[in-house]
Amino acid sequence: MKVLFVAGDPKPERWTRPIQEHLPDAEVIAWDPNGGTVNADYAIVWQPPAALFEREPGLKAVFNLGAGVDGLMALPYLPPELTVVRLEDAGMSAQMAEYVLHLVVDISRGMARYRDQQAEARWQIHRPTQRHQWPVGVMGLGQIGQRVARTLAALDYPVSGWSRSAHQLEGVTTYAGTEDLDRFLGATRVLVNTLPLTEQTRDLIDHRLLGKLQADAIVINVGRGEHLVDQDLLQALDDGRVSHAVLDVFRQEPLPAEHPFWRHASVTITPHVSARTLRDTTIEQISTKIRDHAAGRAISGVVDRSRGY
């Protein structure tokens, strides 16, 4: 069995050596852009070149080094019959829940006021948080979205969740489908986006959607930059319909220095760090799935090509 690692890492041995340890009977090969066909059975990829699928027509499955497969699915030469497997969690859901929880607590408890007071050596106590005034809505109820929703609900924030298909989560009010979207938005002051990027979700967070949120809304985008219409958010911030936005993902990354998000007083930017791939956990998960697939056993995380996730 041959496994090809295609991720553009300048030090691919950081991945190939431990993969080889997990798959001792396999030949693990780092992608050479100037090389030839190696007749690989499996490929482990992140943003692979289209040439991969031209050079390696015998691939049985491709394993993505991330939960989002929108970039991979958009490749023009991705064979329609090829099995695509996305990364499931691998430590990312805990990181994402931690990131969102930190923001929701910081904003709802007004911690910025205390930071400002410290700079002035001013002692002033403000009223405690009333959690019912901070209903959170999580768009996207995959593993990451569910973890975010459950974490916030455990601290008694009112939490709603919306997704394309129906879900049941203890302590979370759930909505499903386009027919429920407006009801979900009307119950939401803090909007957290964890959706996968598909043609149906691209540009979803636009002027109309933002206008359906509760007053003094907060937007936290940890999904994809393409979910958000940048100019519509800027307009909503300037109009006061949205009071603050926290953005971790962008249409172009790194975010260009001239982009107005950098200078807007009501926008907080982080450089796509809400959840990072944990190498050891990822390698263990993918290696196990490769062994199972090669042995004819069913594996989870297979992408539904019709849905795009």
Cα 206 from Cα 209, distance rounded (Å): 5
Known catalytic residue at 293: no
Spatial contact of 185 and 176, defined as CB atoms under 8 Å apart: no
Known catalytic residue at 272: yes
Q: Which amino acid is at 169?
A: L
27 contacts: CB under 8 Å, gap ≥ 6: 1, 2, 3
Spatial contact of 39 and 78, defined as CB atoms under 8 Å apart: no
258 contacts: CB under 8 Å, gap ≥ 6: none
> Of 272, 279, 291, 305, which is the active-site residue?
272
> Of 86, 224, 244, 293, which is the active-site residue?
224
171 contacts: CB under 8 Å, gap ≥ 6: 150, 153, 154, 159
- Residue 306 — left, alpha, or beta (φ > 0 → left; ψ -120 to 50 → alpha)? alpha
Residue numbers annotated as active site = 224, 272
